[in-house]
A and B are shown apart, each in its own frame.
Chain A
Amino acid sequence: MRGIIAWALAGVLLSGCDARGTFDGVAVDPPRPMPPVSFVLPDRSSYALGPVPGRPLVVFFGYTHCPDVCPTTLADWKRVKAQLGRDAERVRFVFVTVDPERDTPEVARRYARQYDSTFVGLSGDAPTTARIMEAYGVAAAREEGSAASGYLVSHSSQVFLVNGDGNLVALYPFGTRWEALAADLARLL
């Protein structure tokens, strides 16, 4: 009888760990394969957003003139990285600009590195930007600003978690506590 109860309990616990329940973020179920997209870095080398076994990918789309949502997200990543310790070395934290007209590859790189020297900032040409935004279901639109600010950009503000197999497995809407991403990465690593 004890054995039956133990197996029943194990079943309950395991069912809480299925694909839907293993993420503190919003699980993408079933996981969605993301196409690899290559960017040209300031030194003319390429950086591919594709699967790398054992190395999850954390992606956010924003712009460097953004004073609130984008800095909050990258500052949260800094906390996530600190929380994960050495395991964080296997995580690829990537910021992709949706404003490539103002954010050159060099500007995007400097912006991401301002938060952590390992964070990657990417700016693609128009077709590359359009392709990756479509793949992730990201939207962006210019809005009128002041003479000082120039135009503003409304944009999708969730963080995407892609596992090492290249599958999108979870989303983190803006405002989600950073601990959720840290916990989910710890499970993937």
Chain B
Amino acid sequence: MVSFCSCSSRVPSRGAADFSMSALRSKARLLTAVLLPVVGACATADPPRTGRIVSSAWARPADSGATSGAYLTIINADSSSVELVGASSAVALAAEVHETMTHEGMSHMMARTAVAIAPRDSLVMKSGGLHIMLLQLTRPLAVGDTIPLTLRFSAGDSVMVNVPVRDF
């Protein structure tokens, strides 16, 4: 099953040193109640009350051949947990889920091959935390463009998102 959503509401601004998954998750629980009606309004058909709902997607501008980063929020509307297991885009040779961690002034990234989302919980990607690396871009991404991005989940389903490109 492939779902579509192209919502463009903003991810809440980041706070200092607020990058841990547990912190994101606790915020995400609060966001779920707020975002559900928002993403429902963004869907083109009847909003799904099961499966995955994606909102607040955006990607950074970058040159052809370079690397961009994309951010989004995923709501797992199911009564069972699911994992985000992969991503792909027609504008990049590869797309990988990574997490930035900053410790004592040093920032580094770690690839995440599977990111769990609890039942009726949300996963919030944002600057300084989880993000999707769009590698070896096949064309330049400019502010105002929209790019396709497909997310794959452990339940076997995929969600395709139209992601706007913007500075922040």
Contact = CB atoms under 8 A, between A and B. Distances in A.
A78 B111 CA distance: 29
Nearest to B130: A68
B94 A68 contact: no
A148 B131 contact: no
B19 A175 contact: yes
B102 A174 contact: yes
A88 B100 CA distance: 30
B133 interface: yes
A143 B100 CA distance: 13
A156 B100 contact: no
Given A148-B135, A175-B18, A157 B102 contact: yes
Interface of B: 14-19, 60-63, 66-69, 93-94, 96, 98, 100, 102, 105-109, 111, 127-128, 131, 133-136, 167-168
11 contacts: A66-B67, A67-B131, A68-B127, A69-B100, A69-B102, A143-B109, A146-B96, A148-B93, A148-B96, A154-B106, A157-B106
Contacts of A66: 67
- Interface of B, helix, strand, loop or mixed by DSSP: strand
Contacts of A64: 66-67
Interface of A: 64-69, 71-72, 75-76, 78-79, 110-111, 114-115, 139, 143, 145-146, 148-149, 152, 154-158, 173-177
Given A143-B108, A152-B109, A177-B16, A65 B67 contact: yes
Given A148-B136, A157-B106, A175-B19, 15 more contacts: A67-B68, A68-B100, A68-B127, A71-B60, A78-B168, A114-B61, A143-B108, A149-B94, A149-B96, A149-B133, A154-B106, A154-B107, A155-B106, A175-B15, A175-B128
A146 B94 contact: yes
Given A75-B168, A146-B96, A149-B133, A68 B69 contact: yes
A177 B15 CA distance: 8
Nearest to B132: A67
Nearest to A176: B16
Contact of A67 (B63, B105, B133): B133
Contact of B109 (A68, A139, A173, A176): A68
B99 to A, nearest CB: 9
Contacts of B102: 69, 157, 173-175
Contacts of B127: 68-69, 72
B128 A174 contact: yes
Contacts of B98: 67-68
A114 to B, nearest CB: 7
Given A114-B61, A157-B105, A146 B111 contact: yes
B67 A149 contact: yes
Contacts of A65: 66-67
B133 A175 contact: no
Contacts of A115: 167
B147 to A, nearest CB: 14
A67 B168 CA distance: 13
A176 B109 CA distance: 19
Contacts of B133: 67, 149
B107 A69 contact: yes
A23 B96 CA distance: 38
B96 to A, nearest CB: 6
B91 to A, nearest CB: 13
